[in-house]
Chains A and B, each alone.
Chain A
Amino acid sequence: MTKYIQRHSRQTRITHGVFISSCILLAITGLFVFVPPLTQALPASVVYGIRMAHRVLAAIFILFPIVSAIIAPKGAGHFFGKYLRKWDKDDITWLIRFVPYMLGPKRVHMPDQRIVKSGQIVADGMLILISLVMIISGFGLMFGGTGLKSVSLLFHDIGFVALILFGIAHIYLGAGIFQPYRHTVRLMFGDGKVSESDALYHWGHWAREELSSGANVVEKPE
């Protein structure tokens, strides 16, 4: 029997799934306006249709997490609360070692972490900030006057550049493409459970607390 810790609820996973799907589709549809050769490769009416689809996706991107938070306000509070914790020495050490670790996971060992790694706080915080920039500038592009529209366009583009960096890195780690992060994909796109061994490796402090309390621990045959 292997112990698993329930890390994410079904609602969290569905919200994340819809959010990230709409985000990826927003990036793809946005490319048809951002990259002129792509824009010019298709008939204008098709690109116009893609632009309208971009707006529908944006509505889903904005509204789905809000509806989810309204349905489960406690969960939403827990979600944001875990990012607002105090940092300790391990958090700082983790961040300092991050780049050497990414380029040499066999040699560099990372310190134990709480429920979210310090790097996760930075990366997810950036993704939330980028999302807000994209939403606000998107509204500026849709409804703004002459001056606001051009400022919004610049910020929408800056947000997109930042999204490329943090989004691809998020997918690389979250989907378990990086060897030491294997199996992490099941946390959001599977049953939301993390094995005892993986939990101890990634979030040592949190895993020990959970395994000691046993509240969210289930045992399944290997």
Chain B
Amino acid sequence: MADYAIFWDASKCTGCKGCQSACKCWNLLPSPLGKNVNEPTGSYQSPLDLNGNTRLLMTFQENEVSDDKKWGVEWSIGRRSCMHCVNPACATVCPSGALSVDEDTGFVRVQDDKCIGCQYCSGVCPFDVPRYYAGGSRINKCTACLDRVKNGGAKPVNGGTGTGNPRYSVPACVHTCSPAALDFGTREDMLAKAYARVQFLQNKPVNPCSTASVYGDVQLEGTHVIMVLKYAPETYGLPADPKVGILPTLTSWMKPLAAFVGVATIAGLGLSYITGLGYKRDTLHFDPDTEETIDMDTGEVVCVGDGHGHKIRAAADAASDAAVAAVATVADKAQEGEE
């Protein structure tokens, strides 16, 4: 499997939202068209969050700056979309196969016609990305334009290597990016490009950016979106140390465990059924006057009142105690054998 990645450089991004529009256009995602139908957000960010028709969102965060060199507001323009994790928890928990890893590129593929709307993926995504449309019944998230990439609608731009196959191309967002903040190529190449850019940002003679970093290399064992960040990840709304946790793994264990418990229960009860075959119980009768319980088949008194004093009952108890003791002995021997 080849590994490809989308590269995004926050230090070059101008926040023009061309990528956001291109994503909508290519993927036929509708937007509200009426005048002033979008609620004012007090931000350049629109809409405020990802939604069932918005797979890619440029985020705008104002950070107050006040030191002896600068004052006022500094913008963090971020890119919010699927990070295409190398080990995607969403695909692990997806029962319908709507989310899966594309073997040719490593991106997390979406087949929304398979989505059953369980929304398990949203519960495990550390970036809170999956959104739904059609009343919550269908997932929508970035597909890395696999339809373009695999069928070649355009050629690599911005210096990226594309997929190396002339039939393949780049995602719509990458293709439209005018300041060359976005790029597409092998993950290895995009990482090399990102580290080179970070080194440049940290060491440039004017306004060096000591906080510049690469995001997506080591986070979550790697993602297929490689970012160059000027500031700390939190400034862009990204978790500094994203974690999936153990829950998806534990959940994946439940299926084989359920199968084992089901088979073991049925096998155990099947054995019980076999040992019970041919069992016949005598008819019992209780005489309230004498408080005696009588076995109607033998005519014997098997129990007096609520007590257990009768010899037959005592014999039965002794037999059952012997059986219990025998089971305990076998268990002890088995334990000794293990030790």
Q: Which of A98-157 contact B (CB under 8 A)?
A: 99-112, 144, 146-154, 157
Question: Across the interface, which residues of A come within 8 angstroms of B123, CB to CB?
Answer: 144, 146-150, 152-153
In the assembled complex, the Cα of A196 lies from the Cα of B283 at a distance in Å of 9
Q: Is the interface of A mostly helix, strand, loop or mixed?
A: helix
Contact A99 B327 (CB under 8 A): yes
B98 sits at the interface (CB 8 A): yes
Q: A97-B320, A161-B258 are in contact. Are A36 and B97 (CB under 8 A)?
A: yes
Task: Encode B79-100 as 1/0 by CB contact (under 8 A) with A.
Answer: 0000000000000010111100
**Across the interface, do B273 and A178 meet the contact criterion of CB distance under 8 Å?**
yes
A residues less than 8 Å from B117 (CB atoms): 48, 51
User: What residues of chain A lie closer than 8 Å to B159, measured between beta carbons?
Assistant: none
B258 to chain A, nearest CB (A): 5
B 243-276 binary contact with A (CB < 8 Å = 1; else 0): 0010110110011011001100110010111011
A112 touching B306 by the CB < 8 A rule? yes
Which of A34, A48, A105, A107 is close to B255, meaning CB atoms less than 8 Å apart? A34
Which of A96, A104, A169 has most chain B Cβ within 10 Å?
A104
User: Does A84 have its Cβ within 8 Å of any Cβ on chain B?
Assistant: no
Chain B nearest CB from A77 CB (Å) reads 26
Shortest distance between the CB of B274 and any CB in chain A (Å): 9
Q: Is A208 an interface residue (CB 8 A)?
A: yes
Q: Are A102 and B327 in contact (CB under 8 A)?
A: no
A200 to B257, CA, bound (A): 39
For the complex, is B279 an interface residue (Cβ under 8 Å from A)?
yes
Which listed residue (A35, A102, A197, A208) contacts B272, Cβ 8 A? A102
Chain B residue with the shortest CB-CB distance to A172? B269
Task: Name the A residues within 8 Å of B113 (CB-CB).
Answer: 44
B324 contacts A100, C-beta separation under 8 Å: yes
A27 to B327, CA, bound (A): 35
Query: What class of interface size applies to chain B in its complex with A?
Result: 35 or more
B333 at the interface (CB under 8 A from A): no
In the assembled complex, the CB of A163 is this many whole angstroms from the nearest CB of chain B, namely 9
Tier of interface size on chain A = 35 or more
Contact of A178 among B250, B265, B276, B324 (CB under 8 A): B276
* Whole-angstrom CA separation of A99 from B269 in the bound complex: 11
Q: Which of B96, B137, B265 contacts A39 (CB 8 A)?
A: B96
B104 interface residue per 8 A CB criterion: no
In the complex, A160 has a CB within 8 A of chain B: yes
Instruction: Please indicate the chain B residues that have their CB under 8 angstroms from the CB of A204 in the complex.
Output: 293, 303, 306
Q: Check B42 for interface membership: any CB of A closer than 8 A.
A: no
* Chain B residues near A (Cβ < 8 Å): 93, 95-98, 113-120, 122-125, 128, 137, 245, 247-248, 250-251, 254-255, 257-258, 261-262, 265-266, 269, 271-273, 275-279, 281, 283-286, 288, 291, 293, 296, 303, 305-306, 308, 313, 316-317, 319-320, 323-324, 327
Shortest 5 CB-CB contacts between residues of A and residues of B: A149-B123, A179-B276, A150-B123, A157-B254, A109-B316
**Pairs across A and B, CB under 8 Å, 13 listed:** A39-B116, A44-B113, A44-B115, A48-B116, A106-B279, A107-B320, A109-B313, A109-B319, A150-B248, A200-B285, A208-B305, A212-B288, A212-B291
